[in-house]
Chains A and B, each alone.
Chain A
């Protein structure tokens, strides 16, 4: 048998049909659904008189629109948001798919609750009408975002028409330095390869620094594969993966667990597998980073200065000029001197328990800078409950953070959590596009630790300076 990558193996195991021109029909094991990209798909089924082919493999949850304030128990005030969430309520019931309504403690961001409840398993094909579906790749699943037409296609047929991507290996060797996180890994990769560096590829992340990450960290890395342009990002499953999955509500049990393990242990890229592109980064070379511009590739170490348009080539010169103007920054300005108004900790990139622990560790016994708005939005109701149990919620609240209910919140600002024009935010989310967090809002992406550090000083801050005892900032 010819050597295969992990992506090749999962692809082959799900191939229903291949046409002469290479267009393939791929079977989908899990279909995750949220309220924003599904109403038109369900409506399409209804109009055509079609059913959901595999409702038992379909999991729906509202996350993008839901308010994250306590008063949401009284219903959603914004009428359009309310209609969209109600449409999902109705569709989930009518078509008989698994559903976590807003009132369910397990409700949360779709990419957080999938793994949390054991829906996400190694070797699966997983799709969702959401680009951050790549998150599930952390389990060695082939997971990617699809459009609404494809959502309808998967609902109706449990398959997806696909052409195969190329194989790209991203290896992070060695160990990470203190203060450097999974978020810094994934941002640094995009900084190096660009937002189109992965276009046409499925990325497999490997190397010692990746192996050393927890499942939470691996999910953060895979989550942003899409920002690097890749269709999907994945990491071969290992003991860390199996340990995480075991005992979760929808994970296999007993004899099925044994059978699953037997297959899961074959899910790795063969030594002599062919890679179409290889990128290697030394873990030791990765610093805590932030973004300065309006593309996730605009990444620099926190101790750097704002670049000038002339530092770039081609279309990026104009791009940088536009970005600097939008962001209100001057070339040569120290990143650490950039003052912020808002801190957002949450999202499918960094809204898991480990992210909250890391931020709380920096914030413990400290206060955020007076006048700053800071919020923590746990990725799910279960993450929130666990954080409360561990005393993290108290640390955040004592520091001056708002402690919110689960949802996508200010990552894309479809709910009331938004930036005002010109407001600047230290965010643990995944996109710093113009207007992403609110019209005219300015976003700097970073790790939860860095966001916590910025909350204390009121400016972009090198978290490493806070990791050793130092006087309280003025």
Chain B
């Protein structure tokens, strides 16, 4: 996984609550056996009409937001299925940070596994950033994970909280499996002891 470094990018406003994983990447795109190539179908049913033509009003189709790297949205973002295709599509489009008041649990988890930073801020602060994002190409915000801040295009700084282990993994681009395999002897001994205590498992 790539290291998560400080960046400045365009933020796109998506003021919808309960953005679900079916919206982010509809099921017809889950048939892939790869992790890449899903960006073109991100928000497919909101982004394209029945003939596959772009719907000009949709935020990511507007010229100002085609290169957005940050998405500002409503509460309970990413609810629904466990499909990791949702963060894969987001990442493949080029979005590296999401800002919302809250996320669904599995989606939130999946973001970290893919180098995406899901920032949680209180609703009133999200509202400020949402307004800022409406400035289009001028809505360039800076995300600094080390300092745990996102800075609006006006220079207003918002501090966010993040789990220290997840922060460490994102900053260093660490692979979870390799980290866990360092503890293989603990897994071995747990397995041996649990096998004694609960042999029917």
Contacts and interface: CB of A to CB of B under 8 A. Distances in A.
Interface of A: 13-14, 16-17, 19, 21, 23, 25, 27, 29, 36-37, 39-40, 43, 48, 50, 53-54, 57, 64-65, 78, 80-81, 83-84, 87, 121, 123-124, 129-131, 133, 144-150, 152-153, 156-159, 161, 163, 195-196, 199-200, 226, 229-231, 252, 256-257, 259-260, 263, 295, 314-316, 318-319, 322, 412-414, 421, 431, 433-436, 439
- Give the interface residue-count category, chain B: 35 or more
Contacts of B110: 147-150
Contact of A196 (B22, B34, B102): B102
B185 to A, nearest CB: 10
B201 A147 contact: no
B199 A259 contact: yes
Given A16-B190, A131-B81, A413-B27, A39 B33 contact: yes
Q: Which of A40, A64, A196, A226 has the most CB of B within 10 A?
A: A196
Given A36-B30, A161-B176, A229 B105 contact: yes
9 contacts: A21-B164, A64-B30, A146-B109, A149-B84, A163-B163, A256-B200, A315-B15, A412-B22, A412-B81
The 7 closest A-B pairs by CB, nearest first: A252-B200, A149-B113, A80-B31, A147-B110, A145-B82, A39-B33, A315-B17
A421 B82 CA distance: 25
Given A16-B183, A17-B186, A39-B33, A147 B113 contact: yes
Contact of A145 (B31, B75, B106, B186): B106
Interface in B151-195: 163-165, 176-177, 180-181, 183-184, 186-187, 190-191, 194
A131 B75 contact: no
Interface of B is mostly: loop
B201 A121 contact: yes
A120 to B, nearest CB: 11
A40 B35 contact: yes
A36 B28 CA distance: 11
B45 A435 contact: yes
Given A84-B31, A146-B82, A252-B200, 7 more contacts: A14-B194, A133-B82, A149-B113, A150-B109, A152-B177, A318-B17, A412-B27
A229 B108 CA distance: 12
Interface of B: 15-18, 20, 22-23, 26-28, 30-35, 45, 50, 74-76, 79-84, 87, 102-106, 109-110, 113-114, 163-165, 176-177, 180-181, 183-184, 186-187, 190-191, 194, 198-201
Contacts of B75: 196, 315
B22 A147 contact: no
Given A37-B83, A158-B187, A83 B45 contact: no
B33 A83 contact: yes
Nearest to B189: A16
A70 B110 CA distance: 37
A414 B28 contact: yes
Nearest to A81: B31
A146 B107 CA distance: 9
Contacts of B104: 196, 199, 229
Contacts of A13: 194
B200 A434 contact: no
Contacts of B184: 157
A158 B177 CA distance: 11
A439 B84 contact: no
A434 B22 CA distance: 7
Contacts of A256: 199-200
B170 to A, nearest CB: 13
B80 A431 contact: yes
B70 to A, nearest CB: 19
A135 to B, nearest CB: 13
Given A17-B186, A434-B45, A439-B26, A161 B79 contact: no
A146 B112 CA distance: 13
B177 A48 contact: yes
A87 B165 contact: no
Given A130-B82, A199-B102, A318 B16 contact: yes
B172 to A, nearest CB: 15
Contacts of A43: 33
Nearest to A293: B18
A92 B62 CA distance: 45
Contacts of B83: 36-37, 147
Contact of A147 (B30, B84, B194, B198): B84
Contact of A322 (B16, B31, B102, B177): B16
A414 B32 CA distance: 12
A196 B76 contact: yes
Given A158-B191, A199-B102, A434-B45, A80 B180 contact: no
Given A65-B31, A121-B200, A159 B79 contact: no
A433 B17 contact: no
B186 A25 contact: yes
A21 B166 CA distance: 11
Contact of A19 (B82, B109, B165): B165
A17 B189 CA distance: 11
Nearest to B101: A315
Nearest to A435: B45
Contacts of A64: 30
Nearest to B105: A231
Given A16-B187, A23-B163, A148-B84, A199 B105 contact: yes
A110 to B, nearest CB: 12
A389 B83 CA distance: 36
Contacts of B176: 149, 153, 161
